[in-house]
Structure 1
Amino acid sequence: MRLSLRIAAVAIVLTSAATAASADTLEKVVILSRHGVRAAMSSPEKLEEASARPWPRFEVPAGHLTARGSTLVTRMGDYYRQHYAAQGLLKAGDCSAVYAWANVTQRTIATGRAYADALAPGCALAVNTVGEGNNDPMFEPVKAGIAKPDHALARAAVAGRVGGDLSAWSASHHQEAEQLDALLMQCAKGPCPAAPGKRRVFDAKPGFVDGEELAGVSGPEAFASGVTESLLMAWADGRDFAGLGWKGLDEEALTRAFFLHQAEFDLRLRTPYVARILAGHLADRLAATVEGGAGSIGPADAKLVVIAGHDGTLASLGGLLRMEWTLPGYQPNQIQPGGALVFERWKRDDGVRVVRVRFTGQSLSQLRNMTPLDAKTPPLSAPVFIQGCGTAAPAFDCRLEDFETVVRSATRADG
């Protein structure tokens, strides 16, 4: 076949595919988002115990959404509004189409506010919560009293994933710990020389710790988790590390540094028993919302529901439903500020209703540069396969009834 005929044939196929896709109707969207960029949870003085260089200062209290963090969430909200208006889901002035829910922390409520204002400009939407002083069962099911975990079983489930030996599991990450030590202590290659008075990644001994977590762990991974999150937040907030004497801190170094954080998150939050306790109620509510039936978050007829939570919220839900994702510049299953699992309910041209899931969020560069987002400059996005109902369709279509079955099975599993 001549080249021109081949090109024409490909064009016909692509046109047919586009026509088929355009015949599908988007009916509902649920966005489960992590909050935006916040101030570090630890003080600069505490963080400086773990590094050779000073740490940037934030202008807001520990854990609060920063002004830049609010702007970055607004960028995502603007993008969602444009994207879903183009899909025919949202219309200007239709204030009832959008519903916002947030956990009861400053950073999640402020994130919900930024989303609501961007998704429905001029509507002055409320950001709904369970109310100050209350525990939201979607985010804190144990504290809210709707989940009754077996703490010994939670530890056993976590231990069972590492052969019962946390030390051996942690030792397999020695190279990554050395790389983080070199970055924090600013030497050419880790482990760096002794530094009296400093907390080092290798000082943390692997083991289980008592506390609020179902199966909290200690060790280099847990040490790294808090420190590297603080690095990410300050980086995304545009802070000047070079001006404070830091060397070698760039996007590539950050991506490497996130490895230990993700290892700890995967073990602590994505272990199936733990994930079911932490995310079971949320998964049931989310499925009801996607379906638009009883138990929906917000009015059943809302077109777009945005839920502002935490990275742990998305991590445990991902573990429960065995969802995996990877975006360029991040570790597998990492959840950057403003990163979101987006659940879309479509009615295909064949009449079948399906659920399509994707993970989306800003790149490290988009966060650092506060890049405006639109169809030509979108955030990063990856389709997510739902085990047990995903198909070989390009967006891994999962039939709506099969999605509901998968969620019911996951939230009611034994052990």
Structure 2
Amino acid sequence: MKNNHYRLDKVVILSRHGIRTPLQNTLEFLEQATPFKWPTWQHPYGYLTTRGGALEVYFGHYLSQWLENHGIKPSVTMPEVFVYANSLQRTVATAQFIIAGAYAGYDITVNHKYPIEKMDPIFDPSLRDDSPELKQAVLSDIEETNKAEAIFKNLAPAYEILSDILDYRHSTLYAQYQCPLADIPIKLHFKKNEEPALLGALAIGASAVDAFLLQYYSAFPQEQIAWGRINDLAQWQQIVEIRNQYVNLICHTKTLAKHSATLIINTISDLMQQQNKVNLLVGHDSTIASLLGALNFESYQLPNQFETTPIGGKLALQRFQHSSTGEYFFKAEYIYQSFEQLYNGQALDANNPPEHFQLKLKDAPLNSDGFYTWKDFEKRLNIYQAK
């Protein structure tokens, strides 16, 4: 790839927040899914942790080096950086720590619109419409993606592993349903001004796996991560797929992706017209998954990471200008810490960089240097401008 012919002109980095504590709205059924006691945390539920903040400082430091290597270095008077976060503690704090690592000493404002813990519509996956027509379209997408329940058949071994880890057979949930964990009925929760959800086996499984991942990323002692009941990476790989499929079905499928991503896509389109060369947006896994679905990116598997939307991961939407023709080109990369990097908590730099993975657009040609024309990507952004 002849990158020396291309100059990075502008980038929008959409980041998932860093390592947080478990979400309070999952605690009730998590406690019912196992006879074991879940660990306590030193931060409120859903908040960025101290370790999460430290890792975002490391990530910010790396990003500033990466941008400088591409010729983007802020001046004292004009940092050329715009930052906007969802108005939750974990997203605002993530943005603050990234900027502290990237541009310590510069007067860069972390913008957010509302008081802390009020969701910003730009990042909010809650339904603006719960009409029967929209619900049926969502159900049709899920059925099409599911392909006659093939997903759940493929997840059967993962659910067996998860059931053993939870000791589900001795749980309150098993006493209630009297069936395997994977067979707990799944129901689409679809109500205006609330987040859509696939209640039942998928939500329980995804929430349990999320809790275990947070323990792992927080470097809990091995005997405390899933009560010491996960023995190898192969088990991790299988159970994390439950969470991946939940995110895919509830965020990435066509109808819900377009419904959720319109405002963030319009924001990105607007930022591409502004002066700032570096734009940082901090949201959630749902933000990234819905954006990738709505803009019709190809499916992917990130190397050295089991999650498809890893915690702290950054989607870098980049506009390049060709040095001789002046034409603009597009490249999208997922920049993220590997499974082991998150656990080890090491500083990131040129000698220990995060992973970079180039994402592909469906139905768009790459040139011989591995870039898309900017017009091909811009067309996708413009679809949402009138909505």
In structure 2, what is the equivalent of residue 5 of structure 1?
none
1:321 pairs with 2:295: yes
SS of the residue 2:319 aligns to = strand
Partner of 1:87: 70
The residue number in structure 1 matching 2:283 is 309
- Alignment deviations for residues 232-265 of structure 1 (CA, whole Å, 9 cap, x no partner): 1111011124157423344432221111111121
Closer, same or farther: CA 405–164 of 1 in aligned 2, 3 Å: closer
SS in 2 for 1:96: coil
For structure 1, the residue ranges without an aligned partner over 5 or more in a row are 1-16, 186-191, 294-299
Of 66, 72, 79, the match for 2:55: 72
Aligned residue number for residue 159 of structure 2? 177
Corresponding position of 1:281? 263
Query: How far did residue 210 of structure 1 move?
Result: 4.2
Counterpart check, 1:137 vs 2:121: yes
TM-score, normalising length from structure 1? 0.82
Gaps of 5+ in 2: 175-179
* 1:237–1:343 CA distance, 2 compared to 1 (3 A): same
> Taking structure 1 as reference, are residues 251 and 52 closer, same or farther at Cα in structure 2, changes over 3 Å only?
farther
Alpha-carbon distance, 1:411 to partner: 6.4
Residue deviations 1:107-144 (CA, integer Å, cap 9, x gap): 0000010112122110142210112176523113767x
Write the letter of the residue equivalent to 1:335: T
Identity %: 24
Q: Distance in 1 between matches of 2:247 and 2:126?
A: 19
Contact 1:99 1:116 in 2 (8 A): no
The Cα of 1:344 is off from its aligned counterpart by 1.0
Note if 1:378 corresponds to 2:378: no
Q: How big is each residue's C-alpha offset from its partner over 1:202-248, in whole Å with a ceiling of 9 and x where there is no partner?
A: 36312222445564322322211111111111110111241574233
Indicate how the Cα distance of structure 1 residues 403 and 239 shifts in structure 2: closer, same or farther if over 3 A, else same: same
Q: TM-score, normalised by structure 2?
A: 0.87
Map of 1:100-111 to 2, 5 A cutoff? 100-111=83-94
In the alignment, structure 1 residue 353 sits paired with structure 2 residue 328: yes
Q: 1:159 to 1:89 in 2, by over 3 A?
A: same
After TM superposition, list the pairs within 5 Å mapping 1:83-232 onto structure 2. 83-91=66-74, 93=76, 95-132=78-115, 135-140=119-124, 148-163=128-143, 169=149, 171-172=152-153, 173-185=155-167, 194-198=169-173, 201-202=181-182, 204-211=184-191, 212-213=193-194, 215-232=196-213
2:309 to 335, 341, 346: 335
**AA paired with 2:87?**
V
The farther-off stretch of 166-175 and 57-66 is 166-175
Q: CA deviation at 1:27?
A: 1.1
Instruction: Pick which of 280-289 and 307-316 moved more.
Output: 280-289
Q: How far apart, in 2, do the equivalents of 1:165 and 1:371 lie? A: 38
Q: Show CA shifts across 1:340-368 (max 9, x none).
A: 11011110133211111011110111111
Letter aligned with residue 205 of structure 1: P
Per chain length, whose mean CA-contact separation is higher, i.e. which structure has more relative contact order (CA < 8 Å, sep 6+)?
2
For residues 89 and 52 of structure 2, what CA distance do their matches in structure 1 show?
Answer: 12
Amino acid at match of 2:374: L
RMSD (Å), alpha carbons: 2.8
Report which of the two structures shows the higher radius of gyration computed on alpha carbons: 1
**Equivalents in 2 of 1:403, 1:221: separation in Å?**
33
- Per-residue Cα deviation, 1:28-63 (whole angstroms, up to 9, x for no partner): 111000000001114878634323544332100000
Q: Is the 8 A contact 1:117 1:124 kept in 2?
A: no
Tell me the distance in 2 between the aligned counterparts of 1:253 and 1:171: 17
